[in-house]
Amino acid sequence: MSTAAASYESGADAPAGSGLSADDVRERTLAGLANGEPEDSSRSLWQIFRANVLTLFNAIVGACFLLLLLLGQWKDALFGFAAVSNAVIGVVQEYRAKKLLDRLAVLDAPRARVLRDGSVQEIAVADVVLGDVAVLQAGDQVVADALILDETGLEMDESLLTGESEPVDKDRGSLVLSGSTVTAGQGRARVVAVGAGSYASRLTAEAKRFSLVNSEIRNGIGRVLRWISWALFPVMVIITNGQMQAKGGWDAAFRSGAWVEAFVGAVAGAIAMIPLGLVLMTSVAFAVGGLRLARQKVLVQELAAVEGLARVDVLCIDKTGTLTEGRVILDGVHNAGLTAPPGWQEALGWFGADPHANATARCLAATFAFDGGPAPAVVVPFSSARKWSAASFPALHSAAGTWVLGAPEMVFTEDAATGGASAGAVLEHASRLATSGLRTLVLAHSQEIIPDGEAEDVQLPPGLAAATLLTFREKVRPDAAQTLAYFRRQGVSVKILSGDDYRTVTAVAREVGLDVGRGFDARHLPTDGKLLEETLAGYSVFGRVTPAQKKDMVLALQGMGHTVAMTGDGVNDALAIKEAEIGIAMDTAAPATKAVARLVLLDGRFDRLPAVLAEGRQVIANIERVSVLFLSKTTYAVALSVVFGALMWSFPFLPRQLSATDGLTIGIPAFFLALMSNARRYNPGFLKRSLAMAIPAGIIIAAAVLAVNVYSAMMGGFSEASSRTASVVTLSLVALSVLAAISRPVSGLRLAIIAAMCAGLVLLLTVPLLQDFFMLEWPPPELAAASLAASAAGIIGVLILSHVHARRYAPDRSDRSR
């Protein structure tokens, strides 16, 4: 705390009766003790641009693109569009995430009500200063941390901050946190923390830290791109030297102008190594998955989150707002040991209809009716100190006498008489009901009328008799049990982290079909990492969990090797939601929670999550499938570049020719394959499985192309254009066999895609306009035969490889095509 802040913090500097003066406010504002929100951005646009554009990878691609444009070979620079698209998608995606975080705020109160110069004023939230006296009324959101000076029946809803669904009674001297809401009563409180020092601002600042979804697909592709970036320079040196030597040496190439063709060949080899389309295709698959989920009322705030839920093996959920709807309902009416006096139902109807009733009492109105007869002669409103409320009706009323509704232990003592049943028996019965996780109140009756006096001095009337016991519970979401059963079948374990009493949470968990055993009181949660992990492994239900504990528990689960999803709707869930691999916010969530979540269930239906899981599985399985195509291309490009550079032969393709073969064997079919239905369950090791198929496949393709060029060099007499065409045919046929191999299990649609690509190859080789653009020339019969022979050998090699790979990495039997 700063010296300036400390000097103002004691309550003695301004009397509560008049509040601060205008001079006090001016002095504190100048001292920086106003309630302004910190304006630190989560990440600057320059940082986002630099991370996505100014990279070694993009520098190499951009240099190759500019080189071809300078050489006038724009037809060979088509790869530039894919590179630009990748950079744009990355910038846009991260900028959207930044804007969400920048708008993040726990506070959404439009104005604040304070006492200044002896009068109540409404001011902007940012104008509240340290030491102000806040005037709190029902419905207000507390805009700065404050200490209660005086109160009348003040209750606060702190569920957004702490997760506790029950309203909290606040007495004189209690601390109220910024972000909480007044649900009943009124009071005045002195502000003790503002701006960055308030609870809401501290939560906001921590939640604003920038992070991206931990995507295995994106991480794997990024790792491959880093490897390629560092390999590109030495490979380009080798291939450039080989190209120049193939043109007669560096001096001869520069004198004759053949260096232009040599550089174009070097660029072709370098660009072929880069799986530009894989990055683009992954983004497209994520985006389409996001659109599909949007139709089901699931907002995907970061594209890679579509994949993330497919990898989740632990689902952490909050009770309030996730398993329950966050509202209290009457659970049951229980015999208190004697016949209830007449009028008890009407009395309950009055407590439910009372405009000053709290949330628990209000739910009685749905079951019990009040006939609107004579109003009570005396009403004692609910008080956090008393924990009961009362109403005395006149003698001629059907509910004559005094009725008290409150906590059993506050209404009765162990030795009190209850007109037929001992207080001990009533309290024991109430305790049994509470142990099952139900909120329990007692309705008691006395023939005596409460004297009309000061609320602070009011006493319970003599002769109270227990009329009935009432139990309350939160309304469980109708879709919760079915959704949790689905996750159990999928091998996803569930942890319930709630701010409520662990017994209440355990009761709700059992109601939705979870076999949870005993719950754990998080007030006794160990802080030692090892002990915390052991506790998390041994329990599934945790009550009285603080926001910081939720975050620590998510981090501990991740440290145990789990992939964690976290759902919730309160600000208390925001930090844990942010740390989890996949954060999911309900439609009723606080704005801050929605801002840090990766997914938002727009209609609040918990049963949307299985669809998200299915979509994630489709994305991750299909991207794994098409990644083999792109990575096999990288492999054969590296192999051909090194071999042809070492042999000092001309590179067998022009960049435009590789663009054509890429489109037919990889780009176009990959687009369709990436969007097809695929319900295969996720297995870790995406990159390992892809490379296990792609590297040998790429070597087989490179060997087939090399064989054709060796034959061409040995026989001699073939033009460079016909040799390149023979290489194009060989590469295309063997690469199409790789496409066929990764398309299994075969379906009509997949066969149609392969057939269409074969037809495209025929058109490429026979249509004069395409032949001219791509500089293709049909090879002589003997070279064509050599090309077909090399292709046949390559196809056989791919079939053998595919069989071995399928046996080693057998896919889940649920992999089906619609």
Helix (H) or strand (E) holding 335: strand 324-335
Spatial distance between the Cα atoms of 157 and 185, rounded to a whole number of angstroms: 12
Spatial distance between the Cα atoms of 415 and 603, rounded to a whole number of angstroms: 52
Q: Which two tokens stand for residue 126?
A: 């940012």
* Sole residue written with tokens 């390992």: 688
Q: What is the dihedral of CA 806, 808, 814, 818, to 10 degrees?
A: -20
248 close to 597: Cβ distance less than 8 angstroms: no
Spatial distance between the Cα atoms of 282 and 224, rounded to a whole number of angstroms: 14
328 close to 473: Cβ distance less than 8 angstroms: yes
Listed residue (567, 602, 486) closest to 318, CA to CA: 567
308 close to 444: Cβ distance less than 8 angstroms: no
Nearby residues of 305 by Cβ (< 8 Å), 6 or more positions away = 213, 582, 598, 599
Neighbours of 416 (CB within 10 A): 17
Integer CA distances (angstroms), 105 to 42, 208, 315, in order: 12, 9, 26
Report the b/e string of 520-541 with b at 16+ CB within 10 A.
Answer: bebeebeeeeeebbebbeebbb
Assess whether 318 carries a catalytic annotation.
yes
For the chain, the C-alpha Rg in angstroms (whole number) is 36
Question: DSSP letters of 43-79?
Answer: S-HHHHHHHHTSSHHHHHHHHHHHHHHHTT-GGG-TH
**Residue 769 is which amino acid?**
L
713 close to 642: Cβ distance less than 8 angstroms: no
Q: Which two tokens stand for residue 58?
A: 């993009």
Q: Which two tokens stand for residue 45?
A: 């646009």
Strands (E), 645-745: none
Among 76, 169, 318, 662, the active-site one is: 318
| Residue 220: half-sphere exposure toward Cβ, Cα within 13 Å | 20
Give first-to-last CA distance, the chain, whole Å.
Answer: 63
Spatial distance between the Cα atoms of 281 and 276, rounded to a whole number of angstroms: 9
Listed residue (229, 68, 58) closest to 656, CA to CA: 68
Listed residue (614, 734, 592, 586) closest to 679, CA to CA: 614
The alpha carbon of residue 22 and the mean position of all alpha carbons in its chain are separated, in whole angstroms, by: 46
Coil, helix or strand at residue 269: helix
Question: DSSP letters of 725-789?
Answer: HHHHHHHHHHHHHHHHHHTPSP-HHHHHHHHHHHHHHHHHHH-HHHHHHTT--PPPHHHHHHHHH
Neighbours of 772 (CB within 10 A): 10
694 close to 631: Cβ distance less than 8 angstroms: yes
Neighbours of 29 (CB within 10 A): 16
| β-sheet bridge partners, residue 584 | 567, 599
Listed residue (562, 522, 559, 527) closest to 539, CA to CA: 522
> By 3-state DSSP, what share of the chain in percent is helix, strand and coil, each rounded to 5?
55, 15, 30
Neighbours of 457 (CB within 10 A): 7
Spatial distance between the Cα atoms of 622 and 674, rounded to a whole number of angstroms: 5
Spatial distance between the Cα atoms of 683 and 689, rounded to a whole number of angstroms: 10
Q: Which residues are catalytic?
A: 318
